[in-house]
Structure 1
Amino acid sequence: NRWYKYINSSIEHSKSTQLTIKYVYSGEPPDILLNQVKHVLNLTQIYHLNIEQEISINRLMQIIHLLPDLITLKINSLSFYRSITFTNQVFPTTSSIEHAKKIKYVYLEKTHKIQDIYFLMTFCPQMEYLNVECIKNKNIELFLRNILHVINNNRYEYLRLLCIYITKADDQMIKRLNKMIGDEKLKISIDSLVVN
């Protein structure tokens, strides 16, 4: 939470309206939630979205389609219930992709698969800050190597800060990560490692 609070504190106060979605029912017709979001938008603009439960990629895109001014996105976790097709007629995907380009700060609380990160990096190509927490049963060195290769190969020039919370980290791990980065000639350095 510290990363998210720090980023939020640095954003203009005039753009501080946050929408928090506490429950996302996968079996519920999407119109119910989307109509509630539309109702909120009649009252104010939304700059920050916080989704406190797991959400499917499709439902996330439906919500972001309605929020053209998003700056931050905080998600509990992602699920891939069905494959994403960019010709899906259920909602205008082009708008959600355009709106996602404006998102600068992304916080993913629980990562189940590296595909979660790949999706967010593709969906929010201009994000500057990515925070990932609760990487369960992951080989952190392999996980980080894969992410850094994606960043380098796809030239994500906007990404300035990658925060990965690791529950079991020490100086040896930092040395191994820095060595791996040097050995693979990755254009990035680890200045610090946040340990919870």
Structure 2
Amino acid sequence: TTHFHYLEIQKEKIDFSILINITDSLSELDSLKIHSLSLSSTKSLSMEKIIRQFISNKNKITKICLENMIEIEEVYFLIKLCPHLNYLQINSLNTIDIELFVQNIINKIKNDYNHNLRVLCFCISIADDDLVQEFEEMVISQNFFLDYTIKRELNHIYITMKI
């Protein structure tokens, strides 16, 4: 038997149902990289209902890279789809309110009690030390974490939450 541990899907806008089928079929998959996700067929159903109906805890995905995020619900979906997720990287955040986006993602992690997710990585073309400082102030003012680090490497900002 062949086990796949890493999968990169280059198709633009892979439908969420296809992604669910793939993760269901490749139960040993650890890392996933996708270009973008289509949630268009979820509009008539609630996301929670879809997640409860289709998602099992059997997938072992711990790392996801999302190349192009269109809407924040894609990230919420991926967090729910992969209960063992501990590393999430989003590579295209240039056209949104970055601070608000990061704040919403962190709130979602805390509210959904995703205790596995430890590292958020954001690729931001305007990443600089001032943006890192703004993230620091946001984390402190919102009381998100007691123990964390925020660091920048070129245009990547990493928020690492410690247990």
Q: TM-score band, normalised by the shorter chain?
A: 0.7 to 0.9
Is 2:48 the counterpart of 1:66? no
Conserved in 2, the CA contact under 8 Å of 1:169 and 1:195? yes
Which of residues 41, 44, 54 is equivalent to 1:93? 54
User: Is 1:115 equivalent to 2:73 in the alignment?
Assistant: yes
Q: Which structure has the bigger radius of gyration?
A: 1
Residue by residue over 1:83-105, the C-alpha shift from the partner in whole angstroms, topping out at 9 and shown as x without a partner, is: 16649xxxx935xx3333x1111
The normalised TM-score by structure 2 is 0.81
158, 162, 182: which one aligns with 2:116: 158
Q: Please give the per-residue CA displacement for 1:138-187, whole angstroms capped at 9, x wherever unaligned.
A: 11100111011111222211112111111002221111111111111111
Going by fraction, where is strand more abundant, 1 or 2? 2
| Residue matched to 2:94 | 136
> Using the alignment, how far apart are the partners of 2:77 and 2:149 within structure 1?
23
Instruction: Using the TM superposition, give the Cα deviation of residue 63 of structure 1 relative to its aligned residue in structure 2, in angstroms.
Output: 1.7
Distance 1:141 1:86 in 2: 28
Residue 53 of structure 1: aligned partner: 11
Greater relative CO, 1 or 2 (CA 8 Å, sep 6+): 2
SS at match of 1:98: coil
Task: Give the structure 2 partner of residue 177 of structure 1.
Answer: 135
Q: List alignment gaps of at least 5 residues for structure 1.
A: 1-42
Q: CA offsets, 1:116-141, max 9 Å, x none?
A: 11011111111111111011311110
* Partners of 2:94 and 2:124 within 8 A in 1: no
The count of corresponding residues between Structure 1 and Structure 2 is 147
Give the alignment's TM-score, normalised by structure 1.
0.68
SS of corresponding position for 1:157:
coil
What residue identity is the alignment partner of 2:54?
Answer: T
Answer whether contact 1:106 1:130 (CA < 8 A) is retained.
yes
Structure 2 unaligned residues grouped into runs of 5+:
156-163
2:57–2:83 contact (8 Å) kept in structure 1: no
2-structure distance, mates of 1:93, 1:175: 40
